Amino acid sequence: IYDCFVRVGGPTNSLELSVSVDTMVTLNQDDIVIDNMWLWRADHDVSGSVYEERNPCKHGLVVNGSDVIAYGLAVEHTLEDLVQWNGDRGQVFFYQSEFPYDVSQQSFGDPGYTSFRVSDQSRSFSGVGMGVYSYFRDFIVDVDSAII
């Protein structure tokens, strides 16, 4: 999979029409190579900034296959774990992520959401050049960890 861009929301006014999806991309196949993937829950639209978790999306990427390699993966602003990596022998080279700006409560961090979660069932995983940042615009929010 190369040069893949997915956006939830943005081209419309979310005050008038909010779109939603559970997960942007789910990979159930083994032996996949990702090269340049950007999965983005829009933080702004034609009306300006997005507020109150409009255009909801739980996850950007869920990997269930083994031997998946990602080169250049960006996942931004989803409302639960941004990435859930469940497969074995996964590798990521450069990951960029940002937590959602517009969570509707301070307790966003309480359920333990994270940017990148490697499943306890995954026997091995390697990540190089992984960065996560936050700008919780509307509330002070604490998360336990950006990468688990």
Q: Which residues are catalytic?
A: 98
DSSP-H helix ranges across 19-144: none
Contacts of 94 (CB under 8 A, 6+ apart): 71, 72, 73, 128, 129, 130
Residue with tokens 């859930």: 84
CB 38 within 8 A of CB 6: yes
DSSP-derived letter for residue 67 is S
